Copies of this chain bind each other. A is one copy, B any other.
């Protein structure tokens, strides 16, 4: 029995609200249960120094958590003067995942920055960030195409992410905080709409796992992301 009463293969309730940010070229407030992440896409008409003159664009991400998004207040990273290793790991992952579905040659020398800020945290914030950032990215691209800054759509795939884990010996989909804290193992799957794997991060937390367990997690992830792809499409339709 999962603490939330969900079935082993049941996602939390998902909602994606667009337009929360007044200024961003694209924005999506994604909620997966009590996890809420505000994702914005910001466009800048140049690329970082190491990219200049190649005629390609750049897509990058930053991640943050409001100090009281969590059960007990965390230090504000701006006040501590540095981002934690965890924060950097997550924002590098978000950036890589989005770049995997963008053909940067089609962008020209512009940068799109995806900011994922966690307003409320209840597990799975990095996966929610990726799923929401995809929507913000598509909205920004849509605006750039309307303005004719982009002639063609550089977004060449759909990406969503979900965590799975082994909780009390059972593979389950979409861990919330309580499950995540007690899981034997957890894994984040970043998958494409076309069935490809972009990234897998699987970690034994309390016990190592075998190939069969891993296969079960991957199957759950495919089922979970199918629902997330639908939610993204609905939000972009809306």
Q: Is the CB of B92 within 8 A of A76?
A: no
Most chain-B Cβ atoms within 10 A of its Cβ — which of A40, A85, A157? A85
Are B201 and A201 touching (Cβ within 8 A)?
A: yes
Which A residues fall within an 8 A CB radius of B? 20-24, 27, 34, 38, 40, 42, 44, 62, 64, 66-73, 76-83, 85-89, 91-92, 96, 100, 113, 115, 117, 119-122, 157, 187, 192, 194-204, 207-211, 214, 218
Determine if A81 and B79 form an interchain contact, defined as CB atoms under 8 angstroms apart: no
Cβ A42 vs Cβ B23 within 8 A: no
Q: With A62-B76, A201-B201, A210-B197 in contact, do A42 and B68 touch (Cβ < 8 Å)?
A: yes
| Contact, CB under 8 Å: B122 / A22 | yes
**Of B22, B34, B87, B197, which one neighbours A204 at CB under 8 angstroms?**
B197
CB–CB A68/B21 < 8 A: yes
